[in-house]
Structure 1
Amino acid sequence: MPLSLIIEKVDLYSDWVKIAKQRLTAYGFNISQLVRDEEVSLEYFNVLLHLTIPVHSRQVFYADTFNCPPELHAGLLAFIEKIESGRNLRPHMSRGVKKVANRDALRYDWGIHHFHLGTTLAPDGFIIRTEPVLFAWVANNAVYMLGLYPHGAWSQQEVLQVLYRNWPALLSPYTIKGASLTHVLTDQEVAQARKAGVTVAFQVAEGVAVVPPGGGMPTSKHSFRAVRDNDKLLDNLDSMTEQLRDPNSAFMQEYERKGAFKKRTLSFSLVEHNTGCMLIEKHNTLHFKVDGIPSLPLP
């Protein structure tokens, strides 16, 4: 009869935080202000969802009212060429994306990016700032050009209305079926709601209301999507940890039947592997693929 299994080490959460720190640092983010481990994990998802755009080619579509002032036309053409050829759009984003804990209410609430259309690259790698700025909805395979707006027009609901009028299917997942708003917010009220961390619905056409297509934000001013995805990952890591610490769990019993645990003291670690993560047990040299831990896009 084999000796009982001894679980020497299982700390997947700490392993994950270490991986997240390494990835953020490699991407160029200063994480010195992230004191607590839970901050690191949450801000990792903020970076993933809001401060980076995967680099690959996309089609470009224009709203019916799209118009670019002559002085920004060259910058617009250069930006379009980058989109269609699959080049990095990061230099055109806000300089705030350099900060790991940058808060972007426009992204959090409406899922919309703003871009600068300058043609000169500054020493820090970002395009010289321009105004007005381009508002666009960035999807996996397309960029939907909504229009050029003053810097700071983050709560101008016309932007959402333009998006719905031209591409209603994009907002279909967020449309409130069979309901209309009893009070249509003003742009100022939208800004006040965001400042208070209150999630509200928006009217995009007569009788058509949507919940925040960007997911919205709680009173902490974080992104709901980042909070949700971070909580999901941490729940999965907790579940994995429970199984690894329990010799009688389904996972452990399966590999016990296979005779995988020749050495009876086990030490599990979550490690970086290529663009993903892997679970290893060092004493028996076992490797297990781990799904559900997203990587940052290539810089």
Structure 2
Amino acid sequence: MSAHASTPARVTIPTLAQKKAAGEPIAMVTAYDYPGAQIAEAAGADVVLVGDSGAMTVLGYDSTVPVTVDEMLMLTRAVRRGLSNPMLVGDLPFGSYEASDGDAVRTAQRFVKEAGCDAVKIERGGATVARARAIVDAGIPVMGHVGLTPQSVNALGGYRSQGRTAEAALHVARDAAALQEAGCFALVFEAIPSEATAAIVPGLEIPVIGIGAGPAADGQVLVFHDLLGIYGGHAARFVKRYADLRTAMVEGVAAYVDDVRSGGYPAAEHSYAMEPGEAERLRDLLAE
């Protein structure tokens, strides 16, 4: 692990604000289970997001839309048990907060009370701004998310970069400003052209975490299974592979399967033995 990859104290909202002010990049990563959380902790991540991307990477759905609140809470509780220092943010799934402020607050409260989240994340501007304000007013920190919002993939016409024209980028900027005004402590910019991010971020007071939004963001986030090469599905343009664990995992399990079928496993060193004479006594007892 790099000497710089350490998080000496618990990360809080003021910590992130200080990092933005100091020009110190924020490192956020997704995680969906206890071992993933432990890895993010050991690697020194600042923020761990239990993203609804877990619907695809660990639960096998075709998109993020079908995942339920209970499924997300299960994943988030597991991550909480593996974290000490990084801030924990839970993604509110599609259909759990859009209908009313009351729904939004109740769902956010469950993520704090039942899963131990430090904050929650919701997608889009527009009507979502009111939901963000309601959750913040209820005392729960909110991270916003603009640009490509996977929960709205059908309305957006697919997983496409957003803000590619000046007018479209202005819409992103207005959503971002509205979410900031609603009280969000940070924003995720997803699949937004680098030039748009560079133009918008200086006008915002809160940290912006980019995913496919270029280097001008205040920090970056990638999906755990994407950056480690575990997920076998389509990888977005912005994904950088830092390892190829899926190949290593398949090779390891295949070697085990071959060993079992050839009789090479288990060997004597993988087995337990009875005390001297006990096996013979057992045979005698079974024969009676």
Normalised by the length of structure 1, the TM-score is 0.27
Higher relative contact order (CA 8 A, sep 6+): 1
Normalised by the length of structure 2, the TM-score is 0.28
